[in-house]
Amino acid sequence: MRKFKVTVNGVSYNVEVEETSTSATAVPVVHAAIPSVAVPSPSVAPATPVEIATGEVAVKAPMPGKITKVLVKKGDMVKKGDVLMILEAMKMQNEITSPANGNVKLLNVENGTGVKPGEVMAVIG
């Protein structure tokens, strides 16, 4: 058995390693350059073009996810800060709130709808 002291993230550990052969064999260390890879940025354009009139405000998806609950319907009156829907992203339930006072003019999602970042989910006017 060989004993070593190993430090990981500032914490020291005493470890024992069993030798499988008696001869010490040097292991060559290879230094290789990691090539850079160009990753295309995801599109943030909405799946369906939405026309927004003057005075209306779009409620856009802040991140990719799935709508698990829609709490309003077209024509409902909402106040700034009212919860419109729940967006599940990375196993977290995110409340999507109204950015302004007004009526729900358009609702582009329903329970179970998947959304992409920047996709218009509703229009308040």
Residue count (the chain): 125
Q: What are the structure tokens assigned to 49, written together?
A: 């073009």
Q: For residue range 49-86, what is the model confidence (pLDDT) as tens digits?
A: 566 778 899 999 999 999 999 999 999 999 999 999 99
pTM over 0.85: no
- Domains observed in the chain: 57-124 (2.40.50.100)
The predicted model gives 28-42 an average pLDDT of 57
DSSP string covering 36-99, please? P---PPPP-S-SS-----TT-EEEE-SSSEEEEEE---TT-EE-TT-EEEEEEETTEEEEEE-S
Torsion sign across C-alpha atoms 56, 61, 67, 68? negative
